[in-house]
Amino acid sequence: MSEFHVQVVKIEQISKHPDSDNLSVVIIFGGYPVVIRTESFKTGDLAVYICVDSIVPDNEKFHFLAPPPKKDKEGNIKEPTPPVGQVPAKYRRIKAKRLRGVFSMGLLIHADEGMVEGEDVREKLGIEKYEPPPDEGYGFGDTRQNEHDYQYMPTYTDIEGLRRWKEIFVDGEEVVMVEKVHGENARYCYEDNRLWIGSRTNIKKNGIGGWGKVAELYNLENKLSSWQASNNRKIVIYGESCGYTGGFPYGVKRGEAGLQLFDIYDRELRRYVDFDEFISMANALELPIAPALYRGPWNKEKAYELAEGNSTLDNRHVREGVVIRPVVERRHEKLGRVILKIHGEGFLTK
């Protein structure tokens, strides 16, 4: 599952904006605030909620997102609004904003005739998920140079948002909240007398990009092969390959790569290990671990609080947010694996 949805919702309640008569606030899925023009919707309307980091198509329906014309000092138009079909993607990417001091996550438009509540209309509306271009990362490597899909190194869990699944954790449940590091997802395992390297969705040829640099820097082939031989156990390690991705250096010099491990998968048991075992295994492998900011009974207010502020790895830039997981792994009938995230408002509006 993923936090990326384009879903038809019913407007249940509209609240007045505290600092504008022309603006109001709607809460979607119980946790995503969206600022709207007061006259645009009324209670009971069906709307399409377009979440943050959606890219809407360049058509008439979304042309209102195009930039206004640029004028000179005399008020003459020197650069008109681009016509339909020529609106750059940066204007069609939905972002979080503060509108007159109120945090807003996403966009609401009226549902088309025939759309029903709960329907996912991504394909119907031609909306795609924003993916950072290669030059927002390390500036080296080629994500297209892939090998065949490798069945023993599963793609990492798609983590849903706490704002939507805020009732998943139960009172008294012991959880850990880990800083969400902003980088490129990386996974590694040792099999067939070689190291396998993967990004979030692809298997990489050895040495490609930041993923290969991480493997070399941390001697992952030798560490994983030795650990697996000593423990008679096959695992996959997951971490964030970080360093200047999207302007977040984490203390890593440009052109170099760092690693923050955040999970381990047991290939024999086909499950992620509990948090304490993860820490023990990561320490045995002598690999850096994404910082745990809190461990204790579930506390929703603490999760929102810890999503904000500067990174504990590099206080020169904002923290992306936190990932929350139970200390003991469990599953939920609707969510699947219980692990959630919350992005900080500071990160989303940076």
pLDDT digits (tens, 9 = 90+) for 181-227: 998 899 999 998 999 999 888 888 766 677 888 999 999 999 999 99
CA distances to 222, 296, 350 from 173, in Å = 37, 8, 33
From 65-79, 81-95, 140-154, 264-278, the region with the lowest mean pLDDT: 140-154
Query: Do residues 184 and 326 share a domain?
Result: yes
Query: Do residues 26 and 164 share a domain?
Result: no
Query: Do residues 142 and 125 share a domain?
Result: no
Query: Do residues 147 and 227 share a domain?
Result: yes
Query: Do residues 169 and 278 share a domain?
Result: yes
Residue 65 within any structural domain of the chain = no
Residue 158 within any structural domain of the chain = yes
Query: Do residues 155 and 107 share a domain?
Result: no
pTM of the model: 0.82
Query: Do residues 170 and 272 share a domain?
Result: yes
For residue 152, give its domain range: 136-348
Last residue of a domain, one of 69, 102, 129: 129
Of the candidates 42, 18, 60, the residue with the CA atom closest to the CA atom of residue 108: 42
Q: How many domains does the chain have?
A: 2
Residue 73: predicted pLDDT: 83
Residue 87 within any structural domain of the chain = no
From 101-105, 146-150, 235-239, 265-269, the region with the lowest mean pLDDT: 146-150
Q: What is the CATH number of the domain that holds 152?
A: 3.30.470.30
Residue 136: predicted pLDDT: 42
Is residue 310 pLDDT above 90, yes or no?
yes
Query: Do residues 148 and 40 share a domain?
Result: no
Is residue 137 pLDDT above 50, yes or no?
no
Residue 68 within any structural domain of the chain = no
Angle between helices 209-217 and 220-231 (to 10 degrees): 60
Cα-flanking dihedrals φ and ψ of residue 201, to 5°?
Answer: -125, -10
From 51-65, 66-80, 85-99, 282-296, the region with the lowest mean pLDDT: 66-80
Query: Do residues 100 and 152 share a domain?
Result: no
Q: How many CA atoms lie within 13 A of 289 on its CB side?
A: 19
Query: Do residues 163 and 141 share a domain?
Result: yes
Of the candidates 52, 24, 45, 53, the residue with the CA atom closest to the CA atom of residue 109: 45
